[in-house]
Amino acid sequence: MENINAFQFSVTHENRIKKLKQTPKLIWFTGLSGSGKSTLANALEERLFEKGYLTYLLDGDHIRKGINKDLGFSKEDRQENLRRVAEIANLFLDAGFIVLAAFVSPLESDRALVKNIVGKERYVEVYVNTSLEVCEKRDVKGLYFKARLGEISNFTGINALYEPPFYPFLCIDTSKEELSVNIDSILNKINL
């Protein structure tokens, strides 16, 4: 952009990594509403925090109540929502954090945008592949019920498309294993 020059700060990304003794990563949880993304991300963050890692969790509902409260659920607004989230995550990664992000992120192109912004070497995709039937049974927010009644449009899995990831780093079905087993699986596979 014209007339914008990034200031060169004295404390660098490398300085932060060395001081924190951890490798910054974005662990991106994607899947249908009610699949268990936030539950997994929260439990993983808790476990990492207990082990001494510096972490931060970004969650769809929290982001939409604040920085993205001006966005709806059209394809364009969803893309902008995720672009902003990726930029926020990128700032935390620069600070040396391990970032966990729980977002439906239904389109492969939007997840690719996130990966491009933060860098593919720092992006770890966890596909929470819990069936629509299980997600609807969980429906703690009543969103599937409202979508089925036509009260909510563009609801992923009902009247809006969800594209499963082509090559996720890890695939988890939260209806098959206990939470602690799923967290162990993630920790065993992710190299921090």
Active site residues: 105
- Total residue length of the chain: 192
* CB contact set of 140 (below 8 Å; sequence gap of 6+): 34
Q: Are 55 and 98 in contact (CB under 8 A)?
A: yes
For residue 173, the tally of other CB atoms under 10 A from its CB is 16
β-strand 98-102 against 55-59: which pairing, if any? parallel
The end-to-end CA distance of the chain, in Å, is 35
Closest CA to 34 of 72, 61, 7: 61
3-state secondary structure of 123: strand
Distance of CA 117 to the CA centre of its chain: 14
Q: What is the token pair recorded at 175?
A: 């209806």
